Amino acid sequence: MLRSLGAIATEDAMKRALLALACLLATAVPALAQEVHIDYDRWARFTTFKTFAWVDSPENTLADTSPLMHERIKTAIITQLSSGRLKLAETDPDLYVTYYAEASEQLRLSTMSLGYGYPGSWYWDPYWGGAYSTTTATTYTQGTLIVDIWDARAGTLVWRASASAVVSKDPEKNAKKIEKMCKKIADKWQKMKPGF
Q: Tell me the mean pLDDT in the region 38-53.
A: 92
Q: Are 64 and 103 contacting, i.e. CB atoms less than 8 angstroms apart?
A: no
Residue 126: predicted pLDDT:
56
Overall average pLDDT of the 71-89 stretch: 93
115 vs 82, more confident: 82
Q: What is the pLDDT of residue 196?
A: 43
The pLDDT value recorded for residue 71 is 93
pLDDT of residue 63: 81
Per the CB < 8 A criterion, the answer to whether 151 and 94 are in contact is yes
> Is the pLDDT confidence value at 107 over 50?
yes
pLDDT category, 120, cuts 50, 70, 90?
low
Q: Mean per-residue pLDDT for 71-84?
A: 93
CA atoms of 92 and 191, how far apart (whole Å): 24
The per-residue pLDDT for 137 is: 84
Residues 143, 99 contacting (CB under 8 angstroms): no
Q: What percent of the chain has pLDDT over 70?
A: 70
pLDDT digits (tens, 9 = 90+) for 154-165: 999 999 999 999
Distance CA 152, CA 90 (A): 13
Q: What is each CA distance from 172 to 12, 70, 98, 161, in whole angstroms?
A: 43, 14, 23, 23
Q: How many CB atoms lie within 10 A of CB 164?
A: 18
- Supply the pLDDT for residue 117: 52
- In this prediction, residue 84 carries a pLDDT of 87
Residue pair 109/136 in contact (Cβ under 8 Å)? The answer is yes
**pLDDT confidence of residue 143:** 87
Q: Is 115 left (phi over 0), alpha (psi -120 to 50) or beta?
A: left
Q: What is the dihedral of CA 142, 71, 69, 157, to 10 degrees?
A: -20
Domains assigned to the chain: 5-190 (3.30.160)
pLDDT mean over 134-162: 91
| Res 96: pLDDT | 97
d(Cα 32, Cα 65) in Å, to the nearest integer?
26
Whether the Cβ atoms of residue 9 and residue 114 lie closer than 8 Å to each other: no
Verdict on whether the full-model pTM lies above 0.85: no
Torsion of the alpha carbons at 22, 177, 93 and 196, rounded to the nearest 10: 0
What is the per-residue pLDDT for 26?
43
